[in-house]
C-alpha cells in the first residue's frame, strides 16, 4: 500500500501532536487554563484528527489523481480556516 501525503493527513498529524502535547504538558498548561479545559481541548484535537483521517479516506475514494486530491483537500482546509476566523472575529 502506497502512503500518499495529503493536506488532511498533515492536519490529522498536527491535531494528534497537539493532543499529545496538551496531555503530556498538562502541569505547565494548567498554570494558564483549568484542568477540564485542557482535557476538552485534547479531546477535540483527537476528534478533529479522526474526522480529518476519515475525510481523507473518502476523498481518496472519489478523487482520482494526487494533484486533484491536493487541490480539493487544500481548498477544504483553507475554507475551514477562513470559516473559523470569521466565526472567531464575529463572536468578539
List, for residues 32-81, the tens digit of each pLDDT value: 667 777 788 889 999 999 999 999 999 999 998 889 999 999 999 999 99
Q: What is the pLDDT of residue 28?
A: 67
Please determine, for residue 12, whether its predicted confidence score (pLDDT) is greater than 70: yes
15 near 49, Cβ under 8 Å?
yes
pTM across the whole model: 0.81
Encode 57-74: b = buried (16+ Cβ within 10 Å), e = exposed. eebeeebeeeeebeebbe
**Domain count for the chain:** 1
- The answer to whether residue 1 is domain-embedded is no
Q: Is 60 exceeded by the pLDDT of residue 92?
A: yes
CA 68 from centroid of its chain's CA atoms: 20
Asked if residue 2 belongs to a domain, the reply is no
Provide the residue range defining the domain that includes 70: 7-91
The Cα 11–Cα 81 span in angstroms is 11
The tally of CA atoms less than 13 A away on the side-chain side of residue 43 is 6
Amino acid at each position: 500500500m502506497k502512503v500518499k501525503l495529503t493536506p488532511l493527513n498533515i492536519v490529522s498529524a498536527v491535531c494528534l501532536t497537539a493532543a499529545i502535547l496538551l496531555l503530556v504538558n498538562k502541569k505547565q498548561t494548567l498554570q494558564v487554563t483549568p484542568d477540564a479545559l485542557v482535557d476538552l481541548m485534547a479531546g477535540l484535537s483527537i476528534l478533529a484528527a479522526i474526522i480529518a483521517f476519515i475525510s481523507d479516506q473518502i476523498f481518496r475514494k472519489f478523487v482520482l489523481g494526487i494533484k486533484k486530491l491536493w487541490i480539493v483537500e487544500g481548498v477544504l482546509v483553507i475554507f475551514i480556516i477562513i470559516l473559523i476566523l470569521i466565526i472567531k472575529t464575529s463572536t468578539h
